[in-house]
Amino acid sequence: MKILVINGPNINMLGIREKNIYGKIGYDELCKIITDKGKKLEQDIYMFQSNIEGEIINKIQEAYGKYDGIIINPGAYTHYSIAIYDALLAVSIPTVEVHISNIYKREEFRHKSVTAAACIGQISGFGVYGYVMGILALIEQNKNK
């Protein structure tokens, strides 16, 4: 499978921002963990990160016909980006939403995800391992096609 991993705003600041919430692993190390696990599972992983909503939407649209699955951490866009939700619905690519922190143990506004409804599932609170769980979920989903 070809899997596109999309990371939204501030994910590039991992290892710098709020280590008590997001941990000490930096963004480059996160990318290495994900791509290495993908190789072990014989999956082609492609990484993308942007702080700009429109670039994320463009990347989702560009994925149409090119990728078998998407893992997305929309960051703060999770809570209000109907545009990302619409883009995910438009391409009809199985998508897993991932959050490093448990969004349900944080501020009330983080408890609502408008983007999750466009996904096959959501993984929250397992740190960077959530991305690995997302890969495994997409592999399983692909078996059931």
Active site residues: 22, 99
Round to whole Å and give the CA distance between 129 and 115: 20
CA–CA distance, 114 with 82 (Å, rounded to integer): 7
Which residue is associated with the tokens 């999309």?
A: 6
Q: What is the DSSP string of 19-34?
A: HHHH-S--HHHHHHHH
